Amino acid sequence: MDIITKSPQIQLKGKYQSTLALMLLLAGSFLACVNLNASPLSLNGLATYSDLTKEYYVGALYLPEPESSVQKILNLNQRKLMKLLVTANRWSPRAWTKQWQGNVAINNPLIDGELQTKLKLFTRLLKSNLLSGDLIIVDYDPAMGTQVFINQQRVLASADMALFNALLATWIGKLPPSREFKNRILSLATDTQAAADTQKLYTNVVSNERKNVIKHWLLTPAQIAQAKENKRQLTRQLQFIKARLQTQKEAQKKASEAQAQRLKQAAQQQLVKAKLDRERREAKKLATKQERERQQKYANLKKEKESRLEAYYYRDLYVWQLRKTIRDKITYPAWAREFNQEGIVDVFFTVNAQGKVIDIEVDEDKAPKLLIGEVVKSIKSTSGQVLPPKKLKGSHWKFSVNHSFKFRSKEQTLLVRPIKPTHLSKVFEIDHYQVV
C-alpha cells in the first residue's frame, strides 16, 4: 500500500534544523517507492497512540494540503488517508475491538444503518494478533470511497466518506487519546519524537510472511477447510508415532516399577506391624485425653458458633443492602447495545465505617469498558448512602458486585436477604434496617 507525499514547507532555526532535515530526508526517500495513481498527499501530522502506558502504534494523517481545522478536515471531500504502523509486540483481537469500540463510541453520535454495520466490521477485523511492523491504512478517495488495508491486503470497503470520518474522529474528535495526540495529528511537530516516529513510518517494510497471514484471513471456507484437513492428517500421523513410542516407554517403566514395588512391600510389612503396635498404645492414651476435652470443647463451640453466626449475619445483611442498592442504579449502556457487547462484570470495592466507597478494583480485560464503567459509576453513586450495621465489626470492609449484561435476559443472580440466626431472634434490638 503506497501513497505519494509532498514534503511540508517549514522554516526552523537552531536545534530543530537537524531534526527537520532528517524528517524531510525520510519523506523524500519515500517518494521514490510510493504511488497509488492518485492525487498527491502531504503528511499533515503524526503521533504515538498508547493505552494504559502501553504503546500500540504510530498514527499519521495525510491530506492534499496541511490543515489544522478539525471541521475542514472532516468536510474535505478529497483524497485523505490514515496510516497506522503497529509498534506493540502484540496487539490482540480482543484489545483491538475493545479500544476501537470505546474510542468510536465516545467520539461519534449514535448512528444506524450501513455506517454502523461497517464500524462493527472494522472493530472486529482481526482474526489473529497484529505484530510490530504491521501496517494498517484507511484510504478515502472520492472515486473509490473508503478502503481499509492491513499489510497491503484490502479487508474492508465502504462507498462513501462516513467510515473514514468516523475513524478519524477517534484521533481529532472531542475525546481523542490525549490533547497532545490530537495536536500532533493536526500540526506536524518538529521535535525529536516526531523525527523518530517519522523514521519508523517511512523505513518500515512489511514482510511477505505477515502479508500471507492477512491473506489467510481472506480465504474462502473451502480453502480453510482443506488446510484444516491437511493439518489434521499430519497431526494424526504424528500422534500415531508418538503413541507407539509412548507405549514402549510405558512398558519398560511398568517392569521397573513392578520390581521396585515388590521390594518396597516387603519392607513396608515390617514397618506396618511395628506401627500398629505403637498406634494401639497411643490410641488408648489419646481416647482418655479426648474424653476429658470433649465436654469443654462442646461448651466453647456453642459460644463460638453463635458469635460467628452473628458476625456473618450482620455482614451478609450489609452486603445484601449494598448490592440491592447498586443493582437498582445499573442500566444497559446504549453504545454497548449497539456494539452487541455482553459480559459479566466483577467489581471489588472497599467501604469505610461511614458507608463511603474508598477503593474500587476491576479487571478491565474480563469485560468491555462500557459495561465496566456503568457498574463502577453505580457503585460510586451509592457512596455514603447505605450505612453499615452498628454491630458490624471493623473500620472498613471489602465487597464485590457481580452484574450480568445480556440482551435476551434481564434477570440477575437472585439477591436473598440473609436469615437471622435463631439466638438473635430472641433479642429485641435496633439496627439500621429494621427492628429485630
Amino acid 13: pLDDT:
39
What are the boundaries of each domain within the chain? Answer: 5-218, 311-425
Indicate if 311-425 has the same CATH topology as 5-218: no
With vertex at residue 148, the alpha carbon angle to CA 147 and CA 152, rounded to the nearest 5 degrees, is 110
Amino acid 214: pLDDT:
94
Angstrom CA distances, 363 to 214, 351, 367, 369, stand at 31, 19, 8, 10
Angstrom CA distances, 192 to 100, 178, 198, 258, stand at 28, 19, 10, 72
Amino acid 90: pLDDT:
97
Beta strands in 151-306 (DSSP E): 153-158
Element (H, E) at 403: strand 396-405
Residues with Cβ within 8 Å of 138's Cβ and at least 6 positions away in sequence, in order, are: 81, 82, 83, 84, 146, 147, 148, 149, 163, 164, 167, 168
DSSP SS3 for 92: coil
Amino acid 139: pLDDT:
98
Beta bridge pairs of residue 400:
348
Amino acid 421: pLDDT:
80
Task: Give the other-Cβ count within 10 Å of 222's Cβ.
Answer: 8
- Helix 114-123 / helix 162-172 crossing angle, nearest 10 deg: 60
Residues of the chain with pLDDT under 70: 1-39, 409-410, 425-436
d(CA 168, CA 175): 12
Task: Give the other-Cβ count within 10 Å of 258's Cβ.
Answer: 9
Pairing of strands 396-405, 357-362: unpaired
Amino acid 31: pLDDT:
37
DSSP SS3 for 14: coil
Q: What is the pTM of this model?
A: 0.50
CATH for the stretch 5-218: 3.50.70.10
Pairing of strands 5-6, 41-51: parallel
Amino acid 38: pLDDT:
58
Q: Answer whether 91's CB lies under 8 Å from 129's CB.
A: yes
Amino acid 350: pLDDT:
95
Q: Answer whether 188's CB lies under 8 Å from 194's CB.
A: yes
Report the helix count and the strand count for the chain, using DSSP H and E. 12, 10
Assigned C-alpha cell, 160 = 462513501
For 311-425, the fitting CATH number among 3.30.2420.10, 3.40.630.10, 2.40.50.140, 3.40.718.10 is: 3.30.2420.10
